[in-house]
Amino acid sequence: MKRRDFIKLSLAAGSAILLPDFTYAATLDLSQIQFSSYDTNKAQTLIIFLYGGASQLAGNLTNMDEIKTHSQSDYESYFGDMTKTTNNCWKEAGGSDMETLLGNGDMTIFRSCYSAVRETEDNKAHRLCTLQNQLGTFDTDDGAGGVLSNLAQILEANNVVNVDTLMPFVTMEGESKFYKQGGSPVPSYLKPVGINEDVDNPYKRESIRRWYYYTEAERESAPDSYWKSDDEGGFDPALTAKMDILAQHHNSPGKIKDIFARRKSMSDFMENVLTSSTPDLGDDAYPTNNHFAKKVETAMKLLINNPDTKVLTLGTGSLGGWDDHNEARDYVDRMQNLFATLKSAMAHLKAAGKEQTINIMVFGEFGRNVNLNSAKGWDHGNLQNLYVLGGKGYFNHKGIVGGTKVVQTGEVNRLYLYPKDNTYWFEPLSIAATLYKIYGVENPEVMTDGYGVIEPLFS
Amino acid sequence: MQQTIRTIKSMVGIVLFTILGFTYSASGATLDEQGKTVIMVMMDDITLPLIVDKPVPDTTPPAEPHFTISPPSTTYEKSALVEISGEAGSTIYLNSHKIATIGSSGKSIIELDTSGENGNKTFQIVLKDRAGNTSKPLVFTIKKVDDPKYNTEYKGLTLYHKPMDHSAYKLAQLSDADFNALTAAQKRKVADTLLSTLFFAYPLHTLEEKINSGHFVSSVYNGLHEERTDKEWLESYILDDDIFRQYSQWYDPQAITILSRFYAMKELDSYFFKHWSAYILTQTVMFSPAYELESTHTPDIGNVYNRIFHFLDDDAGMRFITYVHMMSEENWRRFRSPEDNGREMLEIFQNDMEDSHVPIAAQALKNWKLNTDGDTLEVGLNDNTEPLHLFGTIIQNGDDFYRELVKTDRFAKTVSRRLVDFFFPDATESKRVQITNAIVSSHPETWQDILLQIIFSKEYLLHNKRTKSAEETFYSFAKKLHFLHRRNSFYIFKEYLDRMHQATMKYKLGKIERVPLDTFSFAYYHKFLREQILVRRSYPDKIDDYDAWGRQGWSKEFVTFDKFAYDENNLEQSLENFINYIFKATIAREATPDELALFKEHMLYEDDEGNTQFEYTFNMFATYDNPDKQATKREERKGYTAILVLDYISRLEETYTQKEVH
């Protein structure tokens, strides 16, 4: 039996998780990937990563009564109202907008993204958990590539993207581990391009239309306008292009050379794609005077206007971090802000007719302990929510999936949510598997330590 | 005593006096050839000599000075202050060097240099009056001894350590002999690596002199152990709002001041090195003030950085510095609950990710909390009293936790590894382990022991390849190009660092990647270096206008004719020399033939007679009847050439990269 068939059969038998370790490798082996078609879904994804590890309580107050009885600090005297919505979301922390999204069939909240592996390995560290989630594997050695680095190579190998594809991967958070290069080199054009919400264009070079950059012949060809803007008849001096060519000839292979090679096209991209307008979204308009909303709006414009972009990643720095060890009151406003923006983003997708193809995934490295500690915050936990929006052409939204129970460990400050008995739950690596799947990978578990896709999204 | 002269001088000092109803001004008093005193008296445009009688010669020496505040008989300080009493107006000579004058009170405070090796240090003070009469000497001795603080321990934690001698380093160091055996081009590269690592550089000719001295490496190393900076001047200079704009708290002004200081420091000395060390440490996860967090406050930047600097200046050991830092309010504003703080200190300083250790740490810290009132650290008296097993010993309270943490071998290994990762980000894991093990085997007890051992090592200077940080390129280019700032230059630098994702001291976990090379971050890096420094020339007429954009840029000093060989009868060679000078001064190599050809094609042409001529714009030998105009025009045209060459250099990967030396 071929190795590939063995894996397939095991999956069919529902026993992928029992496969021996040697079946999976952190290093991408393209020969192991079964790829069907990108065109079936034409998926595009916005990943919003909640760095610091967001509390799951905004989307899950199911166990709140029990939590309150065990918590070190009193929830209500600190947070005030904690109103439960119909689906037990936290109304004041974005719950109303969550209900709207759930009611429209636009979103699924998974309440049991939990890691049994981390429980065993005694791991609740930011850096390692972030790395694992962004690499899609617990094997975080040097050879492991990031989820999006792997996806880029798979799409290239299957002719979905090529050197003419315009910015297939875009980041608004710097180069996270999603893009970590694994054992094999990733071509320059597959590496992520950075943008920001201000449509600021750092790729554009200023001060090159000074008169001494031009030859006399160039100046004489348009004596009244050569230095002006393109619209006014200006043009770049030939010298600057010659400089680029010669410098690139001398530059050693590597990231800096790659960036210089792409500078001009990125500059044009910034000028053209991001200046497009957002349709009138009426009551669902993006929140104003809000950096995060501006970021998401820019991300949506880019995905809508440039189908070549397959994935865009976005951190939530402009919302503040989610590592709420103390003074967690801000969390309520942050969540409110996040979901008001996501509601607008869904409206934006619908207005553009893209809710079938574009999806949004929101998650972090882990969730949080539910004890409100002495500093009025939450320490690290091991269960989080995954919010999945849009992508309705390939995702079946189920509303709320998964239930939780409270576990009191007996130690001070160690009060956690765990998956309820017999409920659906999944390891965080299944998020990576799901992502691979919607782009056409039929056996994503070969890259995710055997953990398969989040089945309810596809059933 | 020359009472006659003094009286006249005193009268002259009034400046105005009256003769026959007219008012005169007077200045100067000299002796003429006959020994008579001459005062020049001025009335309108007329100057007349006023001659007075020769004074009685003064032959009485000043009395021997004596102490009004005596020196210590022994000291461990680098200096001692004494007060002496003597004849007012007499000059004080300390060990034959003129140092001050006794004031009108008849007393003067003087500082005695007791730095250097232990042992007896003898001083001689004499006074000399204006007539040249010398007092009997005051001779005394101060015995320099070891500072007893080096023997201070707190529950097994030694607080102070002298930095180890470099002969004790276990990581192989680059010697002068190793350096001198390199080719000229390699020497320039290695020198540039070392200096830019330290946020420093020298103009090309100065650098070449130092390289050719034969002891470049040791002179830089030794220089880092001597203090030459005028600290008082420097610290007031960078706070002068007319020169460096002082920003409100909304702009994180402490960070801007720190950035300004590196630009303003002129000497690569011990003062500079301690600041550099504090800066490096605050960029890492170990000591980042983390001003991105809501719970931190702007002064935390200055508090964390300055505290490390003061500790380094006082020879505090790295374990003591860390112990104090971990217990500080600033660190608690970063990691804010007993569990959070305990977990992160274990991870950061022990590389201990065991979640089972976290509740133990939290138990020890149970009475520590960040009070919501002003994010204030509050330590209660309800200490944990239950014995807890951690670090192979028994701890109970927070003080035990932090103290025992830094006393472990694992602490030294972890912090060494963190700094190795910082300076060798692209080295293989096995190489980093090897370097770390070598450092750890030298038993470092101070941050200097690790930092100096790394940056003077063969591994770092010869075999390491990495992208330079923006601080490394900016400060070194500033020195190479005689860069002049404007009032807000360092606010702009700080903002650009943020956009490059190289923000200083901002991130909760420090600079996980010191130089992010995603497209967006690097695009800002290139934009900053190119547009704020390289293609920006400082205009001489703006030199005193610190608000003018025209002040910021490289100065005319960078391109003066004495910097390169030129021949007005050989234009092509002169241009080549000028271009090569710019290349060597900035990226430590000469231009290649194709690079020279690019610029020559743009700047030269062949006239009808087949002679090579400068294009008008680039004619550095342009002639004008007016010599001032000619000089101005020539500088201006060299400037155009330099901007184009520097623009090209901004597009080279090597400008941003520390290269291996082959």
> What's the residue count for chain A?
459
- The alpha carbon of residue A4 is apart from the nearest alpha carbon of chain B, in Å, by 33
- The alpha carbon of residue A32 is apart from the nearest alpha carbon of chain B, in Å, by 28
Alpha carbon separation from B87 to A307, B65, B96, B608 (Å, rounded): 90, 8, 18, 82
Q: Which residues pair with A441 in a beta bridge?
A: A35
Q: In this structure, is residue A297 part of a structural domain?
A: no
Alpha carbon separation from A372 to A61, A116, A320, A329 (Å, rounded): 14, 23, 19, 11
Kindly report, residue by residue over A282-323, the tens digit of the pLDDT: 999 999 989 899 999 999 999 999 999 999 999 876 555 899
On the CB side of A30, CA atoms within 13 Å amount to 15
Kindly report, residue by residue over A395-430, the tens digit of the pLDDT: 999 999 999 999 987 777 789 999 999 999 999 999
Kindly report, residue by residue over B244-273, the tens digit of the pLDDT: 999 988 899 999 999 999 999 999 999 999
- Answer whether A216 touches B (CB < 8 Å): yes
**Residue B321 confidence class, pLDDT cut points 50, 70, 90:** very high
Which backbone phi and psi does B126 adopt, to 5 degrees? -130, 155
Q: In this structure, is residue A327 part of a structural domain?
A: yes
**pLDDT attached to residue B23:** 45
- The alpha carbon of residue B154 is apart from the nearest alpha carbon of chain A, in Å, by 30
> Is 60 exceeded by the pLDDT of residue B2?
no
Alpha carbon separation from B585 to A223, B214, B580, B582 (Å, rounded): 36, 20, 8, 5
Nearest to A249 by CA among B32, B651, B638: B651
**pLDDT attached to residue A271:** 78
Query: CA B595 to CA B586: how far, in whole Å?
Result: 15
Does residue A200 contact residue B544 with C-beta atoms inside 8 Å? no
**Edge-to-edge order in the sheet of strand A44-50:** A193-194, A169-171, A311-315, A44-50, A358-364, A383-390, A107-114, A399-401
Nearest to A383 by CA among A368, A401, A362, A398: A368
Q: In this structure, is residue A215 part of a structural domain?
A: no
Alpha helices in B446-570, H assignment, sequence order: 447-455, 458-463, 470-480, 489-499, 519-527
**Are residues B653 and A257, on separate chains, in Cβ contact within 8 Å?**
yes
**Residue B4 confidence class, pLDDT cut points 50, 70, 90:** very low
| Pairing label, strands B79-85, B107-113 | antiparallel
Which residue range is the domain that position A183 belongs to? Answer: 34-199+309-457
First-to-last C-alpha distance (Å) of chain A: 29
**A96-100, A120-124, B212-216, B565-569: the lowest-pLDDT one:** A120-124
Kindly report, residue by residue over B380-430, the tens digit of the pLDDT: 999 999 999 999 999 999 999 999 999 999 999 999 999 999 999 999 999
**pLDDT attached to residue A25:** 56
Q: How many domains does one find in chain A? A: 1
Nearest to B446 by CA among B195, B144, B168, B146: B168
More confident position, A182 or B656: B656
> Is 60 exceeded by the pLDDT of residue A22?
no
Cβ-Cβ contacts under 8 Å, A192 against chain B: 518-519
For residue A344, give both structure tokens.
């607008």
DSSP A339-403: HHHHHHHHHHHHHTT-TTTEEEEEEES--B--S--TTSS--B-SEEEEEEEE-TTT----EEE--
Q: In this structure, is residue A269 part of a structural domain?
A: no
DSSP B372-440: TTTTEEEE-S----S-EEETTEEE-SHHHHHHHHHHSHHHHHHHHHHHHHHH-TTS-HHHHHHHHHHHH
> Is 90 exceeded by the pLDDT of residue A3?
no
Chain B residue with the nearest C-alpha to that of A255: B517
- Answer whether A236 touches B (CB < 8 Å): no
Q: How much is the mean pLDDT over chain B? A: 91
Q: In this structure, is residue A257 part of a structural domain?
A: no
Over pLDDT 90: what percentage of chain A?
73
Q: How much is the mean pLDDT over chain A? A: 90
Q: In this structure, is residue A119 part of a structural domain?
A: yes
> Is 80 exceeded by the pLDDT of residue B11?
no
Q: In this structure, is residue A284 part of a structural domain?
A: no
Contacts of B182 (CB under 8 A, 6+ apart): B190, B661
Averaged pLDDT for residues B87-108: 94
**pLDDT attached to residue A276:** 78
Strands (E), B114-150: 119-128, 138-144
Does residue A354 contact residue A422 with C-beta atoms inside 8 Å? no
Kindly report, residue by residue over B462-480, the tens digit of the pLDDT: 999 999 999 999 999 999 9
Q: Can you say how many angstroms the Cα of residue A34 is from the centroid of all Cα atoms in its chain? A: 24
- The alpha carbon of residue A261 is apart from the nearest alpha carbon of chain B, in Å, by 11
- Answer whether A202 touches B (CB < 8 Å): yes
> Is 70 exceeded by the pLDDT of residue A10?
no
Q: In this structure, is residue A170 part of a structural domain?
A: yes
Chain A residue with the nearest C-alpha to that of B520: A194
Alpha carbon separation from B408 to B350, B393, B404, B405, B433 (Å, rounded): 9, 10, 7, 6, 19
Radius of gyration of chain B (CA): 31
Averaged pLDDT for residues A219-229: 95
**Are residues A247 and B358, on separate chains, in Cβ contact within 8 Å?**
no
> Is 60 exceeded by the pLDDT of residue A96?
yes
CATH of the domain at A149: 3.40.720
Nearest to A370 by CA among A54, A53, A57, A50: A57
Kindly report, residue by residue over B111-166, the tens digit of the pLDDT: 999 988 899 999 999 999 999 999 999 999 999 998 899 999 999 999 999 999 99
Tell me the domains of chain B and their CATH numbers.
3-52 (no CATH), 66-146 (2.60.40.10), 231-467 (no CATH), 560-658 (no CATH)
Q: Which residues pair with A418 in a beta bridge?
A: A405
Chain B residue with the nearest C-alpha to that of A218: B602
Dihedral sign, CA of B602, B606, B611, B616? negative
**Edge-to-edge order in the sheet of strand B79-85:** B66-69, B79-85, B107-113
